[in-house]
Amino acid sequence: MINILRLSHRAFRDARMSSHVCLTARAFGANKVYYTGQKDEKLENSLNKVVNDWGGNFEVEYIEKWSQVIKEHKNKGFEILHLTMYGINPESIVKDIKNKDLLIIVGGEKVESEIYQLADYNVSIGNQPHSEVAALAILIHIITEGKELTLEFLKAKKQIIPDNKRKLLNRK
């Protein structure tokens, strides 16, 4: 099981970035995104609509305090991974976290130093400035060995038939 904790969402400025974090989490097989910062019903509604149309089990939930989410996951035996450009190459820990439940923390503009200490692993996709969306995608891709490429979503009303030239969409 993979859950995500998205920190410090700002409803206006981060609307699309947080939406892409959540959509990527879902499409790559994560179960749930918790987010802190500003509660954003537009974000939640748009995600719920995607789940309704495209299927699968995925939830997004606003929480006030990240400390509570981390604590609960630690108590349940989850490994805590924090994505930061300062971290280590996830290839070096892939064996250690194999088959474990994971909470992946995706930072906002400023990340409190306590997060670095609470995380079991601070990991980075390269050590260059780029994107939390790209980093999250690659991290889950590495952990799940590319599962997102062939993942199936139950109870989907919309389903794409992959094609090299045409847009083929099944509606149920």
For a second copy, the binding residues (CB under 8 A) are: 16-17, 20, 23-24, 26-28, 50, 54, 84-91, 116-117, 121-122, 124-131, 133-138, 141-142, 146, 148-151, 153, 159-160, 162-169
Return the exposure string of 96-127: e unless at least 16 CB atoms fall within 10 Å of the residue's CB, then b: ebeeeebbbbbbbeebeeebeebbbbbbbbee
- For residue 94, which phi and psi values (nearest 5 degrees)? -55, -40
Residues 6+ apart with CB under 8 A from 46: 19
Provide, rounded to whole angstroms, the least separation between the CB of residue 28 and a second copy: 8
Rounded least distance, CB 51 to a second copy, Å = 11
Closest distance between a second copy and the C-beta of residue 62, in Å? 21
What distance lies between CA 116 and its chain's CA centroid? 18
Scanning 41-154, the segments in alpha helix (DSSP H) are 41-54, 66-75, 94-97, 113-118, 132-144
Task: Please identify which residue in the block is written with the tokens 């130093």.
Answer: 113
Q: Which is nearer to a second copy, 49 or 64 (CB)?
A: 49
Closer to a second copy by CB, 78 or 87: give it.
Answer: 87
Nearest approach, Cβ of residue 53 and a second copy (Å): 8
Nearest CB to a second copy, comparing residues 77 and 162:
162
Residue closer to a second copy (CB basis): 64 or 113? 113
